[in-house]
Amino acid sequence: MNGSKRATMDDVARAAGVSRQTVSRAINDLGEISPETRDRVLRIAEEMGYRPSSIARGLATQRTLTLGLVVPDNVNPFFSDVTRGVEHVAYAEGYSVFLCNTDENQQQERAVLQSLEEKRVDGVILCSPRLPEEELRSIVAPHLAVVLVNRSLKSVGTGAVLIDDEAGARMVVQHLLQTGHREIGFLAGPAASHSGQQRAKGYRAALAAAELQAETGCIHHCSPTVDGGRRAARELLETQSDLSALFCYNDLVAVGALQACTDLGLCVPDELAVAGFDDIPLAALVTPPLTTCRVPRHELGVQAMRLLLDCVNGDAEASVEIVVQPELVIRASAP
């Protein structure tokens, strides 16, 4: 390194024999400058290794071109895909993103939200927030722009991007019905999960449309993991031996169910059909590959970011809700 400090705009101005303002015009390509001086200034800036300070600029303009992305856990393939979607359009628009994991922890969620506020991000994308509605509202208020993913909160005038969980669940269960199944169990995920509740609705609706009723014994809550699914499936199958199909909260649970079948010596799909939700990469790779409902996760992120940009630029109703449709994917676990 050149030993000295980083070059500032003043340094460049001095070296080029112009005013600071002229350098600014050159850097930001603001037009009101002659091509010759612009090129000369840019060349000198380049030579000096000048890098404009985003933070000084942010202080002056009150816009930071940064935003916060809050997710429960970016290791979860669901959220890492959403993250990529967000990032893709963010970068294309010149934004950088602070990634914040909450570990499904309310305390941490509060903390990152406060930190983002202090960082003066231009906007926040909040995925599957766990905070209660009232608190969320007050915490969201100080931000200029907030978009919720996987949770609606219309009353605050926040934008939201949602999956049509109910429709997705209906599609899956309809498919099971059409292939002859009548006794269909449901591993419902966490009781508190919004999408779990929506998927339960779809499950019931599909059964009702076939003039069947969801027996309460056929619904079992579980943690949304492979182990949770394995345990819950085992319990359910032991008490309800007449089930011929199992619809699962998500693919991880479904993989757990597959394991439970192996444990119990049940053959999938012959003795029990299994279906999941999300279509994570794993779904296609287990044996047998999972029938599931594909959620366009990347798209979810893209839409959320677009909506956020609209909010930041004031182009949009702040409170639009975008609903994205999932898609049935039929594989060997429930052909």
Partner DNA sequence: CTGTTAGCGCATTCAG
Partner DNA sequence: CTGAATGCGCTAACAG
Q: Which residues bind DNA (CB under 7 A)?
A: 5-6, 8-10, 17-22, 24-25, 27-28, 31-34, 36-38, 50-53, 56-57, 59-62
Least Cβ distance, residue 206 to a copy of itself (angstroms): 28
Least Cβ distance, residue 314 to a copy of itself (angstroms): 15
Using CB distances below 5 to 8 A depending on partner kind, what does residue 22 bind out of a copy of itself, DNA, none? DNA
Least Cβ distance, residue 215 to a copy of itself (angstroms): 31
From residue 12 to residue 51, what is the string marking binding to a copy of itself with x (rule CB under 8 A)? -------------------------------------x-x
Using CB distances below 5 to 8 A depending on partner kind, what does residue 9 bind out of DNA, a copy of itself, none? DNA
Least Cβ distance, residue 6 to a copy of itself (angstroms): 7
Query: Is the torsion defined by CA of 22, 29, 124, 81 positive or negative?
Result: negative
User: How many angstroms separate the CA atoms of 302 and 241, rounded?
Assistant: 44
Least Cβ distance, residue 14 to DNA (angstroms): 11
Using CB distances below 5 to 8 A depending on partner kind, what does residue 80 bind out of a copy of itself, DNA, none? a copy of itself
Token representation of residue 4: 């000295």
How far, in whole angstroms, is CA 315 from its chain's centroid? 23
Token representation of residue 100: 């914040």
**Phi, psi of 163, deg, nearest 5:** -95, 145
Least Cβ distance, residue 271 to a copy of itself (angstroms): 17
Cβ-Cβ contacts under 8 Å for 160 (sequence gap 6 or more): 147, 148, 149, 151, 152, 153, 154, 319, 320, 321, 322
Exactly one of 30, 47, 84, 154 binds a copy of itself (CB under 8 A); that residue is: 84
Using CB distances below 5 to 8 A depending on partner kind, what does residue 25 bind out of DNA, a copy of itself, none? DNA
Ranges within 188-207 binding a copy of itself (CB under 8 A): none
Token representation of residue 140: 């969201």
- Based on the shown chain and the rule CB under 8 A, indicate whether residue 119 belongs to the binding site for a copy of itself: yes
Nearer to a copy of itself, 190 or 288 (CB): 288
Q: In sequence order, what are the beta bridge partners of 66? A: 96
User: How many angstroms separate the CA atoms of 205 and 202, rounded?
Assistant: 5
Nearer to a copy of itself, 198 or 291 (CB): 291
Nearer to a copy of itself, 97 or 206 (CB): 97
Per CB under 8 A, residues contacting a copy of itself are: 1, 6, 49, 51-56, 58-59, 64, 66, 69, 73-75, 77, 80-81, 83-84, 87, 91, 96-101, 111, 114-115, 117-120, 141-142, 226, 255, 281-282, 285-287
